[in-house]
Amino acid sequence: MMGVADSAPNLRDPSRTRVRRNAVWNLIGQGLPLALAVLLVPRLIQGMGTELFGALTLIWAFLNYFSQFDLGLGRALTQLIAESAEEDKKNEEDLISKAFTLSTMLSLIGLFLLFFSAPFLVLKALKLQGALATEMLWSLRALACGLPVLIYGVMCRAILEGKRHFNLSNVTKIPLGISTYLIPLLVIPFSRNLFVIVGWLLAARILILVWAFAQVRKMMPHVTW
């Protein structure tokens, strides 16, 4: 009887419950956009044509690549916040402030590099021609201007995950994933211009960043940004 009684509290161990809950949120955050992609990609190919859809897949690849332009800073910040003592708020706030300063520098470097190298990427590396080349050129330059948004989004999610708010982190990941596929599908009946599609993709990321930053601000009101 004692063994049963002793094991009963373990079943309600808050840490185990939290791990299960976080696992569910992570599964939803990764699985829902993937399921939507399976449903929407065939419709996108049908509506856009193979050439324009091919250009869109390059944009998706660039979006994914530039989201990693923090050079691992986000992952390091998550680990440092998770390991910092709960009572050591000052050190935690200093870490976040320095991380955002460094991420700003990285994003500005990336912005200028991509903006001015866009013609080489389009004409020499991708060897695009005609109207699609022009659209891709300005789409890449739009992505360059949006690079700070992408990196700040990574930093906000890093803080949320470091504070073990995986639900809030995935609340940002889910609309990011959904908008990646849904926005082009909603735009193409009105415009088949790649630059317009990219503009709406960036607009969605700005809105998501504003929400994520508000959540971080609530948790860390004394951080110097």
pLDDT higher than threshold 90 for residue 184: yes
Query: How many beta carbons lie within 10 A of that of residue 25, not counting itself?
Result: 19
Residue 65 falls inside a structural domain:
yes
Residue 115 falls inside a structural domain:
yes
Q: How far is CA 129 from CA 4, 106, 124, 147, in A?
A: 73, 31, 10, 25
Residue 225 falls inside a structural domain:
no
Residue 30 falls inside a structural domain:
yes
Residue 172 falls inside a structural domain:
yes
pLDDT tens for each residue of 186-217: 999 999 999 999 999 999 999 999 999 999 99
pTM: 0.87
**Pick from 148, 125, 151, 123: which is nearest to 137 by CA?**
123
Q: Show the domain range for 161.
A: 2-219
pLDDT tens for each residue of 63-73: 988 888 888 88
Residue 224 falls inside a structural domain:
no
pLDDT tens for each residue of 144-183: 999 999 999 999 999 999 988 888 888 898 999 999 999 9
Q: Looking at the 3D structure of the chain, how many domains does it have?
A: 1
